[in-house]
A and B are shown apart, each in its own frame.
Chain A
C-alpha cells in the first residue's frame, strides 16, 4: 500500500496561514542572530568582499524573507490556506521517539562502540517504538549491527569505534 495524502487524518485545524506566519517569525529571528554574528566579521576590505560579506547579506535576506512570509500569509484570507496538518500527539510521539533514540544511540557510540550502540538503537526501535516481539525481531536486532560492522569495519577497513569489543 502506498502512503497517500488521502490517508492523512485531519486532526488539526492549523492552517498553512498560521503555520507559515509563525515560521516566518522563526526564520527572521534566526536571520537576526546570524546577522549579529556576521557583522563581527570584516564586511569589505581593499575593494574585495571580506569573510562577513556573504553571511551578512544572506542573513539580512533571511530577515526580509521571514518577515515577508509572515506578512503575506497574514494578509491572506483565513480560509484560503487550510492545508497544513500538524501531526497528532501519537504521530509526533512516534517520530520524536525515533529521533530521541537516534540521539541517545549517537551519545553511546563513543563509550559503547558502534556495534553495541546500534544494537541498542535497533532494539529500541523494534521493541519500544514498533512494539514487535518474537524471533524475527531478535534476529533483526542482531543482524543489522553485525552486517553493518562486517561491511564497513571488516571488509572496507573503516576504523569504527569498537567500544568494549575493540582492541
Chain B
C-alpha cells in the first residue's frame, strides 16, 4: 500500500511536467474531436497518432495515448446524444436515452451527466487500477472459456430487458443480431458462413455500419416522413437548461456507482471491452430501477450508467495490459505494440521493473480525466447549439458524415452499402416497433458466447458438465437465473394480483400490452394514437 502510494506520488511528480501536461491536453482534445466523428474510433485515432508518439519518450507517448483513449470515449457520446449517431462502439447504448433526452430539449443535461459520469467513473476505475490491479489481474486470468460462457448467458439474457412493448419482438431482434454476427469466416472451423461468396463479408459485418444504419439513417428516415420545416429535437434555450439539475444527479448517482464497478471489472476481462460494459451497466440500471418504464424514453440514469461503465472499463482494460501484457481491446493492443517498440515488456514485474513508466501513465490518466471534464463541460453549450441548426440542413450533414465515417473504417465501399441496407432495416424496425438495441447487444455478445462455448467443449472433450463444476461459472449461471427468473416470478404475481382486481373501478387493464414494462404512459400514448 505504501509502495503504491509512493509510486503514485512519484508518478504525479513526473506527469506534472509541462511536456506531459501538454500531451495529455493534446490527447484528450484530439480524442474528443475524432471521437465525435463516426467510424474513426479509439483504435484508429491512436493508430493515426502512433507515428507522432514515436518521437516522444515512452511515458509521454503512453500518456498522450491514454488521453486519446479517454477523449474519444467522451467524444463518441456527444453525437450519440445529439444526433443519434454512435460516434464510437461504446456509445451505442448512450444513444438510447441520450437522444430521447435531446429530443425533449434536455441535450445539455444529457451531455453534462455524460461528462460527469465519465469523470467520476473514470476516477473510480483508476483508483481500482492503482490499488486492485494485481488482484483483478489474477481473477481475470482465472477466467477461462466456461466462465466467459456463463457470463455471456447473463449478457444475452439481457436482450429481454431491452424489450419495448413486446418481448417476442425483442427476442426476434436479438436473434437477428446474433445471426448477423455469424456472417463471415468461422475462425474456429475455418469455414465461411453466409458470405454468399463475397470476400468483403469474410471478416463479418462491420459493427459501426450496423449501428449507424439502424440508429442514424433509420432515425433520419422516420423524421423525414413528416413535412419539412419541423424541428425534431428541441434546442435548449436558457443556461439553466444546459446543465444537469440536482434531481438529475440524484436519479443518476446509483447508476454512476454501479456503472463504475461493473465497467471496471468487465473492462479488465480481456475481450469483453467497454461496449459490453456499457450494455451490461445499462440493462442492470434498468432492471433495478424503480422506473424501468422511463428507460428508452429519456431517462437520465440511462445515459449515466453506460457512460460511467464505458469510462471505468477504460481503466479496467489497463489492468491486464500493464500487469499481464494482455491487451483487452484493440486500443490497448496498439498501446502494447507501442510499448514493444520502446523495448518494454508489460507483465507481472512491469510495476516493479519500470516504475518510471507505469506510475506516470496512471497519474496522467487521473490528470487526463480532470482535463476531460475541464475541456468538455464548458463545451456543452457549444455542442448543444448544434441542435439549433434547422433539421433540413442538419440531416443531410448527418447522412454525409455517416457515409464518409463508415467508409473511413476499412476504406471499403461495401461498408457504405451495409449502412444503406441497415438504414432501411432500421426504418422498418422503427415503424413496426421492433427494438434495435437487442439486435446490437446480441451482435456484440453472440460471437463471444459462441467462441467461449465451443472452446469450453473442446477443453472438456464435449462434456457439458464443465459449466457446472467451476465455481465462477456456476456463480454466473445462478446470477443469471436470479436476474431473469425472480423478476419473471414477480411479474406473474403482479399479473395474478391485477387479474384479481380487474373488476374494480379504476383498474382498467389494457390486454394489448404484453410487456411488464409497458406503462401508463404507453397506454396514454396508445389511446392518443387511436383518436
**What chain A residues lie within 8 Å of B188 (beta carbons)?**
51
| Inter-subunit contact B427/A102 (CB<8 Å) | no
| Inter-subunit contact A65/B172 (CB<8 Å) | yes
**What chain B residues lie within 8 Å of A72 (beta carbons)?**
168
Q: Mark B418-459, 1 if CB is under 8 A from A, else 0.
A: 001001100100011110000000000010001001100110
| Inter-subunit contact A156/B408 (CB<8 Å) | yes
Q: How far is the CA of A20 from the CA of B166 in the complex (A)?
A: 11
| Inter-subunit contact A81/B512 (CB<8 Å) | yes
**B189 contacts partner chain A, Cβ-Cβ < 8 Å:** yes
Q: Mark B393-408, 1 if CB is under 8 A from A, else 0.
A: 1011101110111011
Interface residues of B in 154-195 (CB under 8 A from A): 166, 168-169, 171-172, 175-176, 178-179, 182, 186, 188-189, 191, 193-194
| Inter-subunit contact A59/B400 (CB<8 Å) | no
CB closest chain-B residue, reference A159 = B411
15 contacts between A and B (CB under 8 A): A2-B234, A7-B226, A42-B191, A51-B189, A54-B446, A62-B172, A65-B175, A68-B168, A80-B512, A92-B225, A121-B396, A121-B400, A140-B393, A156-B37, A160-B408
| Inter-subunit contact B404/A106 (CB<8 Å) | no
Most buried by A among B225, B233, B462: B225
Q: Mark B206-236, 1 if CB is under 8 A from A, else 0.
A: 0000000000010011111110101111100
Q: Which one of A58, A109, A126 lies within 8 Å of B396 (CB-CB)?
A: A126
Q: How far is the CB of A144 from chain B (nearest CB, A)?
A: 5
**What chain A residues lie within 8 Å of B194 (beta carbons)?**
34, 37, 55
Q: How far is the CA of A103 from the CA of B420 in the complex (A)?
A: 6
**Interface residues of A, dominant DSSP:** helix
**Complex interface: stretch among B332-340, B371-379, B521-529:** B521-529
**What chain A residues lie within 8 Å of B399 (beta carbons)?**
102, 121, 125
Q: Which one of A27, A65, A144 lies within 8 Å of B397 (CB-CB)?
A: A144
**B413 contacts partner chain A, Cβ-Cβ < 8 Å:** yes
Q: How far is the CB of B152 from chain A (nearest CB, A)?
A: 12
**What chain B residues lie within 8 Å of A62 (beta carbons)?**
172, 175-176, 179
Q: How far is the CA of A79 from the CA of B404 in the complex (A)?
A: 46
Q: How far is the CB of B37 from chain A (nearest CB, A)?
A: 7
Q: How far is the CA of A144 from the CA of B392 in the complex (A)?
A: 12
Interface residues of A in 106-143 (CB under 8 A from B): 106, 109-110, 114, 118, 121-122, 125-126, 129-132, 136, 140
| Inter-subunit contact A3/B172 (CB<8 Å) | no
| Inter-subunit contact B416/A109 (CB<8 Å) | yes
| Inter-subunit contact B529/A5 (CB<8 Å) | yes
| Inter-subunit contact A122/B400 (CB<8 Å) | yes
Q: How far is the CA of A129 from the CA of B413 in the complex (A)?
A: 25
**What chain A residues lie within 8 Å of B403 (beta carbons)?**
102, 105-106, 118
**What chain B residues lie within 8 Å of A109 (beta carbons)?**
407, 413, 416
| Inter-subunit contact B171/A54 (CB<8 Å) | no
**B350 contacts partner chain A, Cβ-Cβ < 8 Å:** no
| Inter-subunit contact B172/A47 (CB<8 Å) | no
**What chain B residues lie within 8 Å of A122 (beta carbons)?**
396, 400
| Inter-subunit contact B512/A145 (CB<8 Å) | no
**B481 contacts partner chain A, Cβ-Cβ < 8 Å:** no
Instruction: Give me 13 other A-B pairs in contact (C-beta within 8 A), A62-B175, A130-B228, A148-B401 excluded.
Output: A2-B233, A3-B232, A46-B462, A48-B457, A54-B182, A54-B450, A76-B512, A94-B225, A106-B403, A144-B400, A152-B404, A152-B408, A158-B407
CB closest chain-B residue, reference A157 = B48
Q: How far is the CA of A10 from the CA of B81 in the complex (A)?
A: 30
CB closest chain-A residue, reference B223 = A3
**What chain B residues lie within 8 Å of A94 (beta carbons)?**
224-225
**What chain B residues lie within 8 Å of A85 (beta carbons)?**
529
Q: Which one of B182, B222, B395 lies within 8 Å of A55 (CB-CB)?
A: B182
Q: How far is the CA of A43 from the CA of B253 in the complex (A)?
A: 47
| Inter-subunit contact A98/B234 (CB<8 Å) | no
Q: How far is the CA of A5 from the CA of B427 in the complex (A)?
A: 16
**B247 contacts partner chain A, Cβ-Cβ < 8 Å:** no
**B417 contacts partner chain A, Cβ-Cβ < 8 Å:** yes
Q: Mark B510-527, 1 if CB is under 8 A from A, else 0.
A: 111000000000000110
| Inter-subunit contact A87/B193 (CB<8 Å) | no
Closest 6 CB pairs of A and B: A47-B462, A91-B225, A51-B186, A158-B408, A81-B512, A95-B221
Q: How far is the CA of A103 from the CA of B172 in the complex (A)?
A: 27
**B34 contacts partner chain A, Cβ-Cβ < 8 Å:** yes
Q: How far is the CA of A114 from the CA of B225 in the complex (A)?
A: 26
**A74 contacts partner chain B, Cβ-Cβ < 8 Å:** no
